[in-house]
Amino acid sequence: MAAVMITGVGLVSSHGEGEAAHAPLLACDVPPVLATATNTPHTIHPLPRLELERFIPRREMRQMEPWQRIGVHAAGLAIEQSGLKPRVAEMDLTVAAGGGERDEALDLALLTTPPDAAALNVALADGMRPTLFLAQLPNLLAGSISITHGVAGSSRTMMGEEIAGAEALRIAQRRIAEGRSLSALSGAAMTSDRAELLLLYALGGHLHAGPWEPLPRRRGMVLGSVAAFMTLEPEGANPHPLARLVAIETDQGPPGGRAGRLAALLSRCGHAAAADALLISTASGALDATREELEALPRAPDLFAADLLGHSVEAAFPAGVALGVLAIQAGRARRVLVTGCGQWRGEAVALLEAP
């Protein structure tokens, strides 16, 4: 199997875009960018201001929601850095995405209608129309990337929260390694300032309430607006590789077995041979998942991605890998180990090395 190289990275978060905005975070002395007033008592890492017109024509932008826009923008950054723009027609695409942003007025009406009222059925029948869901289809992110950037190879969209982002990257890596893909673009995007997401996770008891605290002291998730995309190519195909994606492994099963499965993935990725690696955790902050992830790790993480960027669900693992690539570029590490446990299920490990 061919070695797989990461040749371009596009990262967007509350800090801004690209290497210049995110490399300083690796020193652990940059405070998080937080919005505390809009969703009290829950803090979020908000959307940054971006020059979206750089990659997205205005006529296309009108058809996209914020999570799609930052995803398309991050994909553009990765393609630009890799120099693959002339060859996007042969590039394959693997994307992780959740549902799109919802009609908040309709959601509020449904939530305030008594469950046994006839008006609820009327609201559901009239409000849940097909056109409402067109903007919510997860594969529209892949479609928007294809239309905007001309990516015309095969396309796959993964759903399933954190594990979807890791699986998207794993599938892209395997296809490159096995010679079934010449180049691939992989990643995910999510925005945090979404009332329905905050409601969903708050009702499940998964959100941190009160003043922001870092992991592992934090008791719950603090969501972040993040998009992370990477271009992958076989070794030797690009004269300027950023990092070697040595291994990426994923698993999932009942929540109770997270620590054991993660320990097995670490073994398969050869973490013992990477004892000197920079360790980046993409732990969500969800109590049980974070505790079990930390139990499985050989030592305390050097960085918690969620402290720097907020937890971005589908985009969390790709963002952790993107930070790992930046650490290698900046000369802070020769090897990076990235780990993650989904707040509900799904474990992942990736090992990066300097090219």
Mean pLDDT of all residues in 319-325: 98
Mean pLDDT of all residues in 155-170: 95
| Spatial separation of the C-alpha atoms in residues 199 and 203, rounded to whole Å | 6
Mean pLDDT of all residues in 231-242: 97
pLDDT at residue 259 tops 50: yes
| Spatial separation of the C-alpha atoms in residues 305 and 327, rounded to whole Å | 12
Mean pLDDT of all residues in 254-264: 91
The predicted structure's pLDDT at residue 135: 47
Mean pLDDT of all residues in 258-275: 88
Beta bridge partners of 349: 249, 339
| Coil, helix or strand at residue 122 | helix
CATH number for the domain formed by residue range(s) 245-353: 3.40.47.10
| Spatial separation of the C-alpha atoms in residues 157 and 147, rounded to whole Å | 15
| Spatial separation of the C-alpha atoms in residues 75 and 151, rounded to whole Å | 10
The predicted structure's pLDDT at residue 194: 86
| Spatial separation of the C-alpha atoms in residues 257 and 92, rounded to whole Å | 34
Cα angle value 89/95/100 (rounded, 5°): 120
101 band by pLDDT with thresholds 50, 70 and 90? low
| Spatial separation of the C-alpha atoms in residues 197 and 13, rounded to whole Å | 18
Mean pLDDT of all residues in 82-92: 97
Yes or no: domain 4-101+133-234 corresponds to CATH 3.40.47.10: yes
Distance, first Cα to last Cα, the chain: 17
Which tokens go with 190?
């999510």
Beta strand pairing call for 278-281 and 335-341: parallel
pLDDT at residue 20 tops 50: yes
Burial (CB count <10 Å: 0-12, 13-18, 19+), residue 245: buried
As annotated, the residues of the chain forming the CATH 3.40.47.10 domain(s) are 4-101+133-234, 245-353
Lowest mean pLDDT among 10-14, 66-70, 109-113, 205-209: 109-113
> Mean pLDDT for the chain?
91
* Distances from the Cα of 324 to the Cα of 12, 216, 244, 253, angstroms: 15, 20, 11, 26
Lowest mean pLDDT among 103-117, 219-233, 268-282: 103-117
Peptide bond before residue 216 is cis, with ω within 30 degrees of 0: yes
Mean pLDDT of all residues in 99-118: 74
* Distances from the Cα of 157 to the Cα of 64, 171, 198, 236, 327, angstroms: 17, 11, 23, 28, 28
pLDDT at residue 55 tops 50: yes
Summarised one tens digit per residue, pLDDT across range 123-156 is 777 776 554 455 457 788 999 999 999 999 999 9
pLDDT at residue 85 tops 60: yes
Summarised one tens digit per residue, pLDDT across range 28-48 is 788 999 998 778 889 999 999
* Distances from the Cα of 38 to the Cα of 13, 126, 200, 238, angstroms: 18, 30, 17, 45
Mean pLDDT of all residues in 331-347: 95
The predicted structure's pLDDT at residue 100: 66
Share of the chain above pLDDT 70, in %: 95
238 band by pLDDT with thresholds 50, 70 and 90? very high
pLDDT at residue 78 tops 60: yes
108 band by pLDDT with thresholds 50, 70 and 90? confident
More confident position, 89 or 2? 89
Mean pLDDT of all residues in 307-333: 97
